[in-house]
Amino acid sequence: MANQQSNSGNPSVDYEYKRKKNAEDMRMQVTSFMFMIFLTLVAFIAVAGDFDKYFVVPFILLLAVVQLIFQLYYFMHMSHKGHEAPSLFLYSGALVAFITVLTFLTIVWI
């Protein structure tokens, strides 16, 4: 049996690449976490401030959608290769949930 090595043939190069890639991923996660904390503080300020509720509710929902996207792509690694099937199921479920909520809002509205 031959000595098993990676595709590049140099284990130290692979180790350095993985180390740099992990450091880059960690930096992006910390940055996105800080951004999500900032968005949460903005939501609290919007609620605590004396703003009209017709502005605050859509604004908070928008901030929630932005935070959801950050969490999916940076914490759940949906941007990496190999996550196409879970992405399909996730987005299909989100579409069904949106259509269901829209349907119930339309029924209640009438």
**pLDDT greater at residue 36 or residue 74:** 36
The pLDDT confidence band at residue 109, using thresholds 50, 70 and 90, is confident
Task: Convert the pLDDT of each residue in 39-97 to its tens digit.
Answer: 999 999 999 998 898 999 999 999 998 898 888 877 777 777 777 787 788 889 989 99
Q: What pLDDT is recorded for position 11?
A: 76
Indicate the pLDDT class of residue 7, thresholds 50, 70 and 90.
low
Question: What spatial distance separates the first Cα and last Cα of the chain, rounded to whole Å?
Answer: 73
C-alpha 39/C-alpha 16 separation (Å) is 35
What local confidence, expressed as pLDDT, does residue 22 receive?
83
Question: Does the pLDDT value for residue 110 go beyond 80?
Answer: no
Q: Which of the four pLDDT bands, split at 50, 70 and 90, describes residue 1?
A: very low
Distances (CA, A) of 44 to 33, 66, 70: 17, 15, 19
Tell which residue, 58, 55, 60, has the closest CA to residue 43: 60
For residue 92, give the 3-state DSSP assignment.
helix
Extents of the domains making up the chain:
13-79, 81-109
Q: What is the mean pLDDT of residues 24-37?
A: 87
Q: d(Cα 83, Cα 104) in Å, to the nearest integer?
A: 32
